[in-house]
Chains A and B, each alone.
Chain A
């Protein structure tokens, strides 16, 4: 079936190291992807997005890579800080829905823990 999944449910990194969170998607019709960060007791917060006509997009300390050949999405966080500790979700839109937010499918999430 169509789904968004994650390779690693938990990730523990040392403060200052780079983090890589991975996500696999199964629908080749997906054309828009978003990464959200959710801290404990809070709602998901938008981090970065990428469209299928791109393979890389950079933000502040974050980079999203999209590999359409293997249907893989990753979020790289540079110089990981304690404040980055959270659950990270990837989400996809299907082209059939015109890339609409209303049809986002979320993955289960990866918990990132940053060790001081």
Chain B
């Protein structure tokens, strides 16, 4: 397996534009997580899915953020409209199960909103 695949690797957009980040989890993993990493706040969980169903979205910062998982092999994180303070590295991760197990992270998407 190629691991968790995220696209794009880098995204530069203007304030107010819509941004869509994509993720392909490892095949067979039932859990998918979206994280955001910044120097100030470190690594934060935004939302996670189990079998394509959102379980906990309490980490989503605002209504401008939304995430979907239409099938077991694809998820998106959308920001609309984007703001400069959304600039960060966004990671997707997947795992076989939820409890006491490691998560496999993608390479991340570095988002810059100007």
Binding site for B on A (CB under 8 A): 32, 34, 41-46, 49, 51, 89, 93, 98-104, 106-109
Contacts and interface: CB of A to CB of B under 8 A. Distances in A.
B48 A102 contact: yes
Given A42-B107, A43-B106, A99 B43 contact: no
B55 A43 contact: no
13 contacts: A43-B106, A45-B105, A51-B100, A100-B98, A101-B31, A101-B33, A101-B99, A102-B55, A104-B103, A106-B42, A106-B43, A106-B44, A109-B42
A11 B94 CA distance: 30
A108 B99 contact: no
B47 to A, nearest CB: 9
Contacts of A41: 107
Contacts of A99: 99-100
A101 B101 contact: yes
Contacts, number: 57
Given A98-B99, A102-B48, 11 more contacts: A43-B105, A43-B107, A46-B103, A100-B98, A100-B99, A101-B33, A101-B98, A101-B103, A102-B45, A103-B45, A107-B42
Which 6 pairs of residues, A with B, have the shortest CB-CB distance? A43-B105, A46-B102, A106-B43, A100-B98, A102-B48, A108-B42
Contact of A43 (B4, B45, B48, B99): B4
A43 B42 contact: no
A99 B95 CA distance: 14
Nearest to B95: A101
Nearest to A109: B42
B100 A43 contact: no
Nearest to A41: B107
Contacts of A89: 42-43
Interface string B30-42: 0101000000001
Contacts of B55: 102
